[in-house]
Amino acid sequence: MPQTRLNAFKSVVDSHFFALFEQDRVPSSQERNTIQALLADRTAHLAHLNSQVPKRRGKKLRRELRIELDNTRRSIKFHRALISPWRRLPVEILSEIFLFTLVPIESKGSLWNDDRDGTLLLCKICSTWRAIALRTPALWNVLSLQPKSLQHPLDWASNWLDRAQSFPVYLQTSWGVTAHPDVINAVISIFASHVHHTAALWIVGVGDSGQPSFPLPDPYDARLLSSLCVHLPPGSSWDWIHAACQTSSRLTNLAISRFSFDWFPASNLKQLTELELLAPMPMSTAFQLLENASSLEVFYIEIEGPGVARSSVLVMKSVLTMEIACSDGEHLGQFLKQLEFPCLTSMAFREVVSAWPERECHSFLSRSSCALKTLELINVRTPQDHIIACLQHKACATLEWLHTNMQPTDALLQHLTYRGHPFPNPKLRTIKLENIRAADGHLSALVESRLFLSTTVTGLPPGVPVPAWLQRVRFTFVEGLAESQYVTHKED
């Protein structure tokens, strides 16, 4: 119990057991029996006092009675806390309970949330809990320094990570254009001093000035590093990251805005399961990377020319999720012609500003014989009938998630409406259509057709599956510029 609350109780509660709190001691069996007898007596006394409270409304409570009621309640609360079950729990059990208050850290996705407030709150409950929390390394192994954090002194950060001892730590920081270089360098220095037991390191910097300098510890050892995400401003030094990639033997998740084969021993590339490369990559380099990363399950890459002709198709049974950005549709087609991913379940294409390689995409899906669950077409310049043709491919019969922002028209919305032949994509549960250019009513008809339970669908031919229950719809409309094209979408 915090000292201020303990003093408040001392001022109103007459008890011989304050020493238990002051000495941070669990009551003995004899003391526990005495406290329980005292509680029984105080509880009976409280019942007697409550019987003296006026039953009639409007009649004032005597001041002496009100004070005695308050003091008796405080005494009961204080003595109950003395024999609370948590005071008998072993330290090891309390430590495990404390860990359940933390948000699990995942290596996938965006920057994780900082749950430092939860750890600090545990330290404020009482001196016992604070002592246990300080001796629990897993409570201190996550440190997230976001732009707001970088505006304040960071003297506490080193002490925070020191409490993690040798426990694997998860470190992340991000900064904007206004961040001061000295502050960034201070953060990086703290991270570098703990790189020997870092499991995940995420550094995201924005701006074109004030590039951080990265100290190189000697010897440099990042053997526990399994997740690395680094996006640095132009002109930044990459020596520190280069060394981390070289010495890490457990790296499985890599997201980076600069890549070089010189950074990775062959064994390190083979163990990668997730890869995100934001810098454009020549097609030849992309093929070389995929050949070496034989365990890859999820990847995002940006492809650029020149085109490359391989002697054989690259088959990768490990790939589950593929996301590709390529401004040139012809180069994208050349890339797809030489790939085969039999286990692919998620496919996304972005920023294809020239002609969409429809034939090569269909050939890739047929050759792979895959079953897609997710399809995403973002900023892909392709006619609506090409999208419809892709949705009609047998690989999309299992599709559960569809997202496109390429101005869906009447034709696409009518195709997705589940009311007539060919009854497309019966398993769709999430549909995201952005910048819709369609007549009013087509969207509402689409959604309505997929919101029936199996007991209410009528008129479906024999053998046609009932559509999955639509769980999520996201949409935006694009209004015509001319007055005659203006659509209010009241029905939708």
- Residue 325: strand pairing partners: 302, 350
Q: How far apart are CA 390 and CA 437, in angstroms?
A: 20
82: in domain: yes
pLDDT at 455: 41
Distances (CA, A) of 72 to 6, 34, 408: 16, 17, 71
H-type alpha helices, 263-400: 266-270, 283-292, 329-336, 358-368, 384-392
Structure tokens given for 263: 């950074």
228: in domain: no
431: in domain: no
23: in domain: yes
Looking at residue 169, the DSSP 8-state letter turns out to be: E
H-type alpha helices, 83-115: 91-99
Q: How far apart are CA 307 and CA 62, in angstroms?
A: 93
CB 71 within 8 A of CB 12: yes
Closest by alpha carbon to 204, among 166, 180, 177?
Answer: 177
Residue-wise pLDDT for 136-171, tens only, equals: 998 898 888 887 778 788 888 888 999 999 899 999
Query: Residue 156, Cβ neighbours under 10 Å: how many?
Result: 10
pLDDT at 318: 95
User: Burial, 212: exposed, middle or buried (Cβ in 10 Å; 0-12, 13-18, 19+)?
Assistant: buried
30: in domain: yes
- Residue 205: strand pairing partners: 175
Show the 3-state SS of 302-362.
EEECCCCCCCCCEECCCCCEEEEECCCHHHHHHHHCCEECCCCCEEEEEEECCCCCHHHHH
- Given a cut of 70, the residues of the chain with pLDDT beneath it are 1-15, 17-25, 58, 104-115, 207-219, 452-460, 479-487
pLDDT at 483: 44
Q: How far apart are CA 314 and CA 415, in angstroms?
A: 34
HSE of 141, CA atoms in CB hemisphere, 13 A:
22
375: in domain: no
417: in domain: no
Q: How far apart are CA 477 and CA 405, in angstroms?
A: 10
Show the 3-state SS of 179-237.
CCHHHHHHHHHHHHHCHHHEEEEEEEECCCCCCCCCCCCCCCCCCCCCEEEEECCCCCC
Residue-wise pLDDT for 165-192, tens only, equals: 989 999 988 888 888 888 888 888 888 8
3-state percent helix, strand, coil for the chain, nearest multiple of 5: 40, 15, 45
pLDDT at 213: 65
Q: How far apart are CA 488 and CA 278, in angstroms?
A: 39
Q: How far apart are CA 271 and CA 291, in angstroms?
A: 12
196: in domain: no
What range defines the domain where residue 23 resides? Answer: 3-88
Q: How far apart are CA 128 and CA 21, in angstroms?
A: 10
Q: How far apart are CA 150 and CA 207, in angstroms?
A: 15
Alpha carbon distance, N-terminus to C-terminus of the chain: 59
Question: How many domains is the chain built from?
Answer: 1
